[in-house]
A and B are shown apart, each in its own frame.
Chain A
Amino acid sequence: AQSVAQPEDQVNVAEGNPLTVKCTYSVSGNPYLFWYVQYPNRGLQFLLKYITGDNLVKGSYGFEAEFNKSQTSFHLKKPSALVSDSALYFCAVRDFRDDKIIFGKGTRLHILP
């Protein structure tokens, strides 16, 4: 069965600095990988996905993620953090043979002004 690990409950970054939110995954086949962001009392907003192709995926709001097959990682990155980036971020994986997406436990990102 597929699984996702987000090792950090919380990440603090000063505004203007680069940020990284870590994610590792486990699937038996080829993975579909996703990042979502959630603001308080709101649903999830799609940021980006990897299905195939270039390992570096660019998404919404200046975020990008790099798929690393050997390390089974899909870390989320942004070159320069904004205070408005503060939110809860979820990594998710789907085995291409399966119908459902499994979410990590989430990482709370705090951007300090």
Chain B
Amino acid sequence: GAVVSQHPSWVICKSGTSVKIECRSLDFQATTMFWYRQFPKQSLMLMATSNEGSKATYEQGVEKDKFLINHASLTLSTLTVTSAHPEDSSFYICSARANGQGEQYFGPGTRLTVT
């Protein structure tokens, strides 16, 4: 099946710094990628949807200047958490979809801890 990777799998950063998370589709071209955030024992909350070469569409309540998303190629999307704060600590999961009707394939997630 299709494989999506994320890097890093976990990261610890200091408050005020920025951190970049990569999401790659390894064996297919992803026209659309999604970024989710998951708090402990809670469901996945969609943060934004990005199409290759276009600006990301952010969900209501998600600060686009804080969570920068770039989808520069059909196999790579990045999420940059700028000026991170402890409340940004969470599990971030990306997913990728090859075409409009296909299922989404999920990455293994990145656990971000901001100290």
Residues of A within 8 A of B (CB): 32, 34, 36, 41-46, 49, 51, 90, 99-106
CB pair B108 A43 closer than 8 Å? yes
Known: A42-B108, A43-B4, A103-B43. 5 other contacts (CB 8 A): A43-B93, A44-B106, A46-B105, A51-B101, A90-B43
Residues on the A chain within 8 Å of B43, using CB? 90, 103-106
Between A and B, 21 residue pairs with Cβ closer than 8 Å are: A34-B103, A34-B104, A41-B111, A43-B4, A43-B6, A43-B93, A43-B107, A44-B44, A44-B93, A44-B106, A46-B1, A46-B103, A49-B103, A99-B49, A100-B34, A101-B34, A104-B43, A105-B42, A105-B43, A106-B42, A106-B43
Tell me if B13 is interfacial: C-beta within 8 Å of chain A: no
Residues of B within 8 A of A (CB): 1, 4, 6, 32, 34, 42-44, 46, 49, 91, 93, 95, 101, 103-109, 111
Closest residue on chain A to residue B5 by CB atoms:
A43
CB pair B109 A101 closer than 8 Å? no
| Residue from A41, A43, A45, A90 with most neighbouring chain B CB atoms (10 Å) | A43
A32, B99: Cα distance in complex, Å: 14
Residues on the B chain within 8 Å of A103, using CB? 43-44
CB pair A101 B104 closer than 8 Å? yes
| Residue from B4, B6, B91, B106 with most neighbouring chain A CB atoms (10 Å) | B106
Given A41-B111, A43-B106, A43-B109, A99 and B46 touching (CB < 8 A)? no
Residues on the A chain within 8 Å of B107, using CB? 43
Closest residue on chain A to residue B111 by CB atoms:
A41
A34, B46: Cα distance in complex, Å: 16
